[in-house]
Structure 1
């Protein structure tokens, strides 16, 4: 009879479900270790970790011992896993469709003194609550809870090794495994730097450059709306990679929201400046005093140096509007016999009225030009505000980038 048959014949009489201890009142000591082979995926949107692990378990089996001298010096023996006792280890925070138990695919290695070693590989899907407040510069700590499903600690005493073996670890393209004592990962941010952060910075620069497009040109409004749509698209891409939670707001989402707000401010500023540029009387958005403060006080401080050249209007007798502007004197435009004294009086009245008309028209044109110049000053102020906030936002965001990026 072979050694394996002899051991299993005596072993089956003790029952396959009972603990392999000679004294039923004592507990069995299980040494439990984990070797991580690969982080397959750490998904943010459903907060799950998928890993390929090798579970290493060792215990003392009192019913599987022999004397090597009696069996040709055999000191180790491999037995089928389904014919000997193995610990019922489960992954407690399992989120897979399976129950979380181990699929027994490897055999058990026995020593002559009864020491059993079982190395069991497997792919595990576990829950991993993630803190994405610093995304994409975040670091995550995932814990795997293994234990017996049937036996209490008084019957099965599990002692875990202090570190996770990563000698055979295959690097993940998205995360860096930092600490050997736990699954502590740091996100690789190169992908996000070139696919999200860099386009975001370019869009912020374009938003500032939009102020160099004339406000009275409709292209500026269309240009800024295009930037807004691009930011919304990028924000949707970020949202698809993050958990749907309201407890934390990722860093990237916060900055995209701020960028969207700045572009929205640019759109509103463009609408306001366009309205001021085409200011029509009698509706005025800015009173005369505010316009003069902007032109005389603010413009020089901004280096604009706006000056308002005087405009003089004149009208000759050959102007076709000459008679239309002065209906009272339309009769003087026809050739007829007139009294010299009456003619002199009519000319005097005409000169006074026409002078008043030119003065009022000059005042209206000056006021319209004043509105346009005030709009230019406001446009420069809005550009400085947007540029300052955009640059500060970019520097603050990039300052939080870890050195590993």
Structure 2
């Protein structure tokens, strides 16, 4: 059976590629430029007790591989091939402040290699990272989670890691969550210096602004709190000679105890901040 030109080209490229641990550049003094972009797809879990967030993302990385250059005219116009990630050099990207052993869970997807050396890698991923919780304004709180990606062993002199300028990260494709709403995503480039050596790394930071949907908590926490306050005021207005004053006061006291338990169950546990409604129920 005659092999097509794409198969012949791919076999030729792989046979002459070399070690995948060596950066694919002709001049080792030049850094490899890597662009990075994420699109949040779904908030899988927001662990408020452990202050962790798990997200599903669509990731795109792009760089230039000088070991994969060819003239399309030599292969009947073939200007791209798909390769496996284990067959080529990859940037050793990690997620800072990750909370799982494997910082990023991704399937085995192919990388598109173009004739000019451009490498495009699109893949879905699941990441888990630490996200400090501020419950001061619970249930109308807004949380900010940082996702910082960058090389681990390749310094800035070897890999120049930057956010993609072709398209910004946004919440357009984010699936609706019953508790959290993704309001905004901001991205920025970081330059990280080492504390002990004269080394530096480049990284990309994404800040996710997540807003809690408060309608459920308004009905079950805020409204009962207001009603109990009104009833306590009514107790003070009743005449001491009224036979219902003591009964109403005791009923309000029992309701207040139950309400405190309800608030404690609804509030996310946090030792750093205390919610205003929690302080109000205690006082």
The TM-score normalised by the length of structure 2 is 0.81
Q: Which residue of 2 aligns with 1:202?
A: 227
Aligned pair 1:2/2:5, yes or no? no
Q: Which residue of 1 aligns with 2:182?
A: 177
Which of 100, 104, 108 is equivalent to 1:105?
108
How far apart in 2 are the matches of 1:8 and 1:167? 38
Aligned pair 1:66/2:70, yes or no? yes
Aligned pair 1:237/2:241, yes or no? no
How far apart in 1 are the matches of 2:282 and 2:249? 20
The farther-off stretch of 99-108 and 143-152 is 99-108
Task: Return closer, same or farther for 1:223/1:21 CA change in 2, 3 Å cut-off.
Answer: same
How far apart in 2 are the matches of 1:103 and 1:36? 14
The farther-off stretch of 167-176 and 125-134 is 167-176
Runs of 5+ in structure 1 lacking a partner? 259-405
SS at match of 2:16: helix
Give, in angstroms, the shift of residue 256 of structure 1.
1.7
How far apart in 2 are the matches of 1:235 and 1:101? 36
Could you give the per-residue CA deviations for residues 321-363 of structure 1, whole angstroms, max 9, x where no partner exists? xxxxxxxxxxxxxxxxxxxxxxxxxxxxxxxxxxxxxxxxxxx
SS at match of 1:120: strand
Q: 5 Å matches for 1:4-403?
A: 4-11=10-17, 14-96=18-100, 98-101=101-104, 103=106, 105-161=108-164, 163-181=168-186, 182-210=207-235, 212=238, 214=242, 219-220=247-248, 222-239=250-267, 241-243=268-270, 245=271, 247-258=272-283
Give, in angstroms, the shift of residue 217 of structure 1.
7.2
Task: Return closer, same or farther for 1:101/1:169 CA change in 2, 3 Å cut-off.
Answer: closer
Give, in angstroms, the shift of residue 220 of structure 1.
3.9
Runs of 5+ in structure 2 lacking a partner? 1-6, 187-206
Task: Return closer, same or farther for 1:217/1:116 CA change in 2, 3 Å cut-off.
Answer: closer
Checking the alignment, whether the CA contact within 8 Å between 1:27 and 1:155 is kept in structure 2 is yes
How far apart in 1 are the matches of 2:177 and 2:64? 36
SS at match of 1:144: strand
Give, in angstroms, the shift of residue 95 of structure 1.
1.0
How far apart in 2 are the matches of 1:224 and 1:195? 17
How far apart in 1 are the matches of 2:85 and 2:68? 13
Checking the alignment, whether the CA contact within 8 Å between 1:20 and 1:63 is kept in structure 2 is yes
Give, in angstroms, the shift of residue 61 of structure 1.
0.3
Could you give the per-residue CA deviations for residues 361-405 of structure 1, whole angstroms, max 9, x where no partner exists? xxxxxxxxxxxxxxxxxxxxxxxxxxxxxxxxxxxxxxxxxxxxx
How far apart in 2 are the matches of 1:22 and 1:142? 39
Checking the alignment, whether the CA contact within 8 Å between 1:89 and 1:101 is kept in structure 2 is no
How far apart in 2 are the matches of 1:176 and 1:20? 41
SS at match of 1:122: strand
How far apart in 2 are the matches of 1:92 and 1:180? 18
How far apart in 1 are the matches of 2:224 and 2:253? 16
How far apart in 2 are the matches of 1:17 and 1:226? 68
Give, in angstroms, the shift of residue 2 of structure 1.
1.2
Cα RMSD between the aligned structures? Answer: 2.2
Checking the alignment, whether the CA contact within 8 Å between 1:90 and 1:102 is kept in structure 2 is no
Higher relative contact order (CA 8 A, sep 6+): 2
Checking the alignment, whether the CA contact within 8 Å between 1:238 and 1:253 is kept in structure 2 is no
